[in-house]
Chain A
Amino acid sequence: MANGVPAELLYSKEHEWVKLDGDVATVGVTDYAQSSLGDIVYVELPRVGAQLAQFVSIGVVESVKAVSDIYTPVGGEVVGINNGLDGDPSAVNRDPYGDGWFYKVKLSDVGQTTELLSPEQYAALIVEA
């Protein structure tokens, strides 16, 4: 981890992380994002089977006082969602890279990951922010 940014993940400018496993990507928000959002009380995720286009708003995170969009860092078909967040949205605050994951996408095109940020690039981004 460099500056609290896990080295094995890719990132978006909108503070989502992507974990690649073949052509399936797991998506969540970064520790920096959960900290900025504050106490999270509800997460609205896309349905399994939904087709997502990269970098489009596909859901929301609601903190106590505010709503924030989730911009999917990867495009493709949603093949799984974290149902645990329904009963325990605070998992995003507690464990953003683990229990707080959002959804899994079967990538429409593996090449799209070149549009994402490396851990070093993302670490530099949040230092500037």
Chain B
Amino acid sequence: MNASGALRRTALCDAHLALGARMVPFGGFEMPVQYTGILREHDAVRKRAGLFDLSHMGQFALRGADVGAWAETLTVNKVANMKPGQARYNIFTNEHGGAHDDVIFYRLDDERWLLVVNASNADKMWDVVTSARAGDVEAVNLHGERALIAIQGPRSVEMLQPFVDAELGAMKYYACAEARVHGVREPVVLARTGYTGEDGFEIFLPSADATAVWDAVLAGNRAGGLEPCGLGARDVLRLEAGMPLYGHEMTEEITPLQAGLTWAIKFDKPAFTGRDALLAQRESNTFARIAGVIMDGRVPARAGYAVYAGGERVGEVRSGSFGPAVNANVATALVEPRAAAEGTSLEIEVRGARHAARVVPLPFYKRAKA
């Protein structure tokens, strides 16, 4: 939010209103939470494809010979060994091993990178990036100035292909490229990334071109079942796919280790912020951790609800929703290790009454491999 407290609008705001979207404040922006309804939008993404405006996300352009080596000292994953054309998930950590933010690095060429951060953390992350800058590293904050459109779903390749000159089917998951996109004068960054558990692409483009691209892709694929999708559907899709949401499964206090992101933490890096704390946490192995939870009944669990095992309080729900893909109420809970094993019977306290639930492996939903 800016100093006046007024909400910012993305370049696509009028397009959302014309489509009948319900708008809500999110990360300082006025964003579409849904168009026709979360269930219908969710269904489109799982079976066909959905189109998302994610222009509220923070985009930082990084440039310089030292970006990779520098970023490695602030994050848990490797950066310097990324090749041009690669995207990689990563987490900026604090001294205690907690997370400043989870992000994606896109390496465009030897010198140029794109760093995408969460909207709610964009101001904080700009401080983190600029205050720690060292060596040959330039950073430009594009937050709110560039647009981001995502298409997500099993039919993304065929639906987007007519509008771009890159051969989409040949791009690997987590590949990025600079490509020509319908009606946009300059090449834009195109990546096979997303936050739904489906195949899909994200297009980082100038705000001035966003509406033309959005309208063209939507109009060209309406008959094929492409639906505009809001942040409501996006949150349900990511939860089903077992993907963490900053502020829920990960915070300045909840470490990536607790969030189950061990695969992203490279302890073989000699030094990075929070490495010692994370190493000590791993050694002790007594930390509360994120577990997947399915409710036995029809009552949804919600963030903040207390979790019990064997009559004792063992943690709390961090995210909870109805999960249409599994036709059950799904949740993540931060629980003591003794309550985290698959199959553990839990009780979730909902409005004073305890409801049966059980621990299941994450993700709740995994797409069939093409």
Chain A residues near B (Cβ < 8 Å): 36, 38-39, 41-42, 44, 60, 62-65, 67, 86, 89
Contact = CB atoms under 8 A, between A and B. Distances in A.
B351 A44 contact: yes
Contact of A62 (B235, B236, B300): B300
Interface in B23-38: 34, 37-38
Nearest to B34: A38
Given A44-B299, A64-B232, A38 B321 contact: no
A63 to B, nearest CB: 8
- Give chain B's interface secondary structure class: mixed
Given A38-B37, A41-B300, 10 more contacts: A39-B37, A42-B298, A42-B299, A44-B351, A64-B232, A64-B321, A65-B232, A65-B236, A65-B321, A86-B298
Contact of B298 (A41, A60, A63): A41
Interface of B: 22, 34, 37-39, 232, 235-236, 298-300, 302, 321-322, 324, 329, 351
Contacts of B329: 41
A39 B37 CA distance: 6
A57 B235 CA distance: 28
Given A44-B351, A65-B321, A38 B299 contact: no
B302 A64 contact: no
A88 to B, nearest CB: 11
B93 to A, nearest CB: 29
B21 to A, nearest CB: 12
Contact of A67 (B22, B38, B298, B302): B302
Contact of A41 (B34, B322, B351): B322
A89 B232 CA distance: 19
Nearest to B230: A38
Contact of B322 (A44, A60, A64, A86): A64
Closest 10 pairs (CB-CB, A-B)? A41-B322, A39-B39, A64-B38, A64-B322, A42-B298, A62-B300, A39-B37, A39-B38, A65-B232, A65-B321
Contacts of B39: 39, 64
A44 B37 CA distance: 21
A86 B299 CA distance: 10
B229 to A, nearest CB: 13
Nearest to A86: B298
Contact of B235 (A65, A67, A89): A65
A86 B297 CA distance: 11
Contacts of A63: 38
B164 to A, nearest CB: 32
Contacts of A39: 37-39
A105 B369 CA distance: 53
Nearest to A62: B300
Contacts of A65: 38, 232, 235-236, 321
A62 B37 contact: no
A7 B42 CA distance: 36
26 contacts: A36-B22, A38-B38, A38-B232, A39-B37, A39-B39, A41-B298, A41-B300, A41-B322, A41-B329, A42-B298, A42-B299, A42-B322, A44-B299, A44-B351, A60-B351, A62-B299, A62-B300, A62-B322, A64-B236, A64-B321, A64-B322, A64-B324, A65-B38, A65-B235, A65-B236, A67-B300
